[in-house]
A and B are shown apart, each in its own frame.
Chain A
Amino acid sequence: MKRMVRAAAAAAVLSFVGGTFAAVAQENPAPAPKAAAAAAVPAEQSFRVGLVRQMPPLPPWIAPLTAPPENLGVAGAELGIRDALASGRFLKLDYKLETEVVPADGDPLPAAQKLAEAGNNYILLDVPAAQLIRIADALKGKDVLLVNVGAPDDSLRQADCRANVFHVAPNRAMLTDALAQFLMTKRWRNWFLFVGRTEGDRLYAEAVRNSAKKFGAKIVAEKVWDYGPDARATAQSEVPRATQVGEYDILVIADEQGEFGDILPYNTWLARPTAGTQGLMSLSWHPTMENWGAAQLQSRFFKQHQRMMQPLDFQMWEGIFSIASAGMKTRSSEVDKIRAQLLSPQYDLPVFKGVAASFRPWDHQLRQPILLTHATNTVTLSPQQAYLHQRTPLDTLGFDQPESRCKLD
């Protein structure tokens, strides 16, 4: 198992070294059209973006055919670079991507350091929270801006925040707040919370409890999944017994790895809907998203990669394009200028969800709408209409300024 992951990672690295740059170059053969006001345009600026992805351990119940695509996430970064180049060529802006894939049991820190030393001033990170902190601290004081595109941990936006890190991935509190707003809008106020056994599940459940409190829902029952791994074959007999907890409106699932969440719907004792990490899921993106120009992004992604765009692909696209679009305004690849642009009140990042995203100055979190989606339909986007805010409704999701415990130095 471990060997397989490593082999896959190695193959991925090879293909990036050998393939990506060439592919990017081929796909953008159009020469930069001549600019009339050439004198006003500064000399060509080059943005060098690194990417570190640590492969998550594959849970035992994943079979080869259900395994996530090998280029998950990285594919979105590649599209981001292509879109950035197609836009930047009019302003003489160049964007390059260098990717390092680290196996599940590897260490992403040397990979990040290597990218930084090679001159990548911008580094996208999809690594666990503890590794992200190590990398951020090791690169502190260097001319490098880090973008967290994977880790959803609330702690990274609170006590463990770092000044050299921007967060594009939504944190758990944003996801569960988005769900809570919708459930309250539906008046499904009484929740049965079913929690998995991993640390991530525990943290997700914590976020669910906080969201319930914040928006006035009630957790009427709570259970931990301890029915052993891979209960798919016996779900029909086990889940009805496991879900006899009395009355509730909706079953909220905290199962980030997908160990049991998908076997709960239609097997519960009472006829109740499911939501959370499975059922009605709160996500940054989903293949069924098509409004607000999303269909165009989906179609560009499909053309490039022959598969649908997953949340991690989208987050990496956002990571690249947040730097790229800031660069189009600064027309400079200097980290300080980009950083100031990302934090300026004028900065906005169109994310194909109806309103622009932007960064919260107090913890560097990207505020953006969150999808509530089941397998075949995007049901709604939060914030829900009734939730108002003096600054932007987006700040009703996650940590608003008064709740922030982040101190950026």
Chain B
Amino acid sequence: MTRRILLSAGLAAAGLMVMGETLPAQAQVRAFITNERDHTMSVVDLDSLKVIETIKTGRRPRGVTASPDGKLIYVAASDDNRVEVYDSKTFKLVKTLRSGPDPELFVLAPSGNPLYIANEDDNMVTVVNVENNELVAEIPVGVEPEGMGVSPDGKFLVNTSETTNMAHVIDTKTNEVIENILVDSRPRIAEFRKDGKQLWVSAEVGGTVAVIDPSNWKIIKKISFEIPGVNKDAIQPVGVRLTKDGKKAFVALGPANRVAVVDTGTLEVEKYLLVGQRVWQLAFTPDEKLLISTNGNSNDISIIDVGTEKVTKSVAVGRSPWGAVVVP
């Protein structure tokens, strides 16, 4: 008994030493994965596809994003009602920011400031200056605000409210809601195409993705998904990512355990990629060679090769992986 303890302590010490040695030499591409249920963030080295660090975060980490230069990682610690900012190289907590109650998802302005935060419990979007932690604005939106997208020019912020079933368009100059677009049930994510000419909004319970024309905020098409052998009720679009060239969209389909590949020109689904269970959010590597999906129920991430559109590997992370961001 005593011997076993000693042995494991020895192993742990060895593990720490190994960790210590790898830490300084970090120039590689890293993914940061928030694990909602064990209150940690896994750091995955995308060369070796290994977890190189598990950072203890505040309670219930969900939304995660990076500063434009990739140096800072922002994490929404939902149950601690704050945003935590980590150094992406040392993995140390740099500072915490105000967030308003129950922050879930957020988006940084393209310039890197301010941070727009959805307060899920409070029907509000909180705008925070990341430099000085000042409250810029609180914008009332619908019930259970969640998805946050910002137009590439930074002029429009779009928030989805999960129970109100709307995408609220906010003018970032005035911080006022200028348009409300009714979409299908439980809208989760709002994502602009890089040319700003399409806005994609996923509806988890409705099972569709609405593609919206930002010139008039009208829905161009609602994309629905059909997978042989998978019940329609299980097809629940959540995470959406579009390639920089604007040609392809990837849509995570929740308990259907698939990521759909959609042509943004024809708005037709081209194929479905089998990933882990209850796939939630997606993140590209900076070179867009890889796409990562967080799989909430199988506690892993899937690595998708974007060029061949094939799932190449899964990597075990923490309990209920939620969000993902990759920095160079």
Contacts and interface: CB of A to CB of B under 8 A. Distances in A.
Interface of A: 30, 33-37, 83, 86-87, 90-91, 293, 296, 299-300, 303, 321, 325, 328-329, 348-350, 354-356, 388, 392-394
A299 B121 contact: yes
Interface string B153-194: 000000001111110110000001111101011100000000
Nearest to B140: A30
Contacts, number: 85
Given A87-B166, A356-B205, A36 B143 contact: no
A30 B122 CA distance: 12
Nearest to B139: A33
B142 interface: yes
B144 interface: yes
B84 interface: no
Contacts of A37: 179, 217
B142 A350 contact: no
A91 B206 CA distance: 20
A19 to B, nearest CB: 21
A293 B162 contact: yes
A36 B178 contact: yes
24 contacts: A33-B140, A33-B177, A33-B178, A34-B176, A86-B123, A87-B142, A87-B143, A87-B166, A90-B177, A91-B180, A293-B144, A296-B102, A296-B120, A296-B121, A299-B102, A299-B121, A300-B121, A303-B121, A325-B165, A328-B165, A328-B182, A349-B185, A350-B163, A393-B233
B121 to A, nearest CB: 5
Nearest to B60: A295
Contacts of B185: 348-350, 356
B323 interface: no
Contacts of A394: 233
B107 to A, nearest CB: 20
Contacts of B231: 388, 393
Interface in B184-218: 184-186, 205-206, 217
Contact of A293 (B166, B177, B182, B186): B186
B20 to A, nearest CB: 38
A378 to B, nearest CB: 15
A350 B205 contact: yes
A350 B204 CA distance: 10
A348 B233 CA distance: 12
Contacts of A355: 205, 233
Contact of B163 (A30, A87, A329): A87
